[in-house]
């Protein structure tokens, strides 16, 4: 008799547990975009696979790429000029009394490489980059060229000097950058001012 009371008690606890797990109040709050769970009809284990959809929230992040000219902790880039072989002009307004021009170039050929013209003549080709900086009145402020030129063979022996930079101790006006590049794959010029 004692064992039958214990068995009835255990059966009652199991019934209450199963009934509590399948009641609507035991479900908890409804999650938008999901299907509410179905009531269990039997205590027999099931092999049915239940798929519950999961809602994923994508949080946008800002991905910053390193500056190809390198970071300067106290400067910020206000304009970028890019190009390849040929000539180009660009205007940049500098609203600071001090600024820097950072630049680099990727030569197409090594210095002194032979070139054949359509007429059959042969001459040496030297990659070059020249940036003439003028103010809005056309007054030339500076002509900037890579020190030592664009000589990849020399860089392999003594180390790559890129990027280069030039400091300007005037500003608060618009400047014209007349860029001439010969035998280069690409160049990059950045105008940087002090961080506020």
Amino acid 59: pLDDT = 47
Checking if the pLDDT of 76 tops 60, the result is yes
Whether omega before 20 lies within 30 degrees of 0, making that bond cis, reads no
- N-terminal to C-terminal alpha carbon distance within the chain: 88
94, 173 in Cβ contact below 8 A? yes
State the average pLDDT over residues 47-76.
61
Amino acid 134: pLDDT = 97
What gap in Å lies between CA 171 and CA 112, rounded to an integer?
Answer: 38
* 90 or 3, higher pLDDT: 90
Its CATH class, for the domain covering 75-194, is mainly beta
Tens of pLDDT, residue by residue over 100-157, are: 999 999 998 765 554 444 555 555 678 999 999 999 899 999 999 999 899 888 888 8
3-state secondary structure of 80: strand
Amino acid 65: pLDDT = 45
State the average pLDDT over residues 65-92.
86
* 161 or 118, higher pLDDT: 161
Residue 147, phi then psi, degrees to nearest 5: -60, 125
What does each C-alpha distance from 7 to 10, 13, 20, 43 come to in angstroms? Answer: 5, 10, 20, 17
State the average pLDDT over residues 57-69.
50
**What's the pTM?**
0.60
């Amino acid at each position: 008799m004692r064992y039958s009371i214990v068995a009835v008690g255990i059966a009652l606890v199991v019934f209450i547990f199963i009934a509590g797990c399948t009641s609507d109040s035991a479900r908890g709050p409804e999650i938008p975009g999901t299907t509410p769970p179905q009531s269990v009809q039997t205590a027999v284990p099931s092999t049915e696979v239940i798929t519950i959809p999961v809602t994923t929230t994508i949080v946008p992040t800002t991905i910053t790429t390193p500056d190809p000219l390198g970071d300067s902790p106290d400067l910020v880039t206000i304009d970028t000029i890019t190009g390849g072989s040929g000539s180009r002009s660009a205007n940049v307004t500098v609203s600071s009394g001090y600024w820097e021009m950072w630049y680099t170039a990727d030569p197409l050929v090594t210095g002194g490489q032979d070139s054949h013209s359509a007429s059959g003549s042969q001459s040496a080709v030297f990659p070059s980059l020249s940036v003439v900086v003028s103010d809005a009145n056309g007054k030339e402020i500076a002509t900037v060229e890579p020190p030592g030129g664009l000589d990849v063979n020399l860089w392999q022996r003594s180390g790559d000097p890129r990027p280069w930079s030039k400091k300007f101790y005037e500003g608060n006006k618009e400047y014209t950058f007349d860029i001439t590049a010969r035998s280069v794959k690409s160049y990059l010029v950045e105008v940087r001012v002090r961080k506020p």
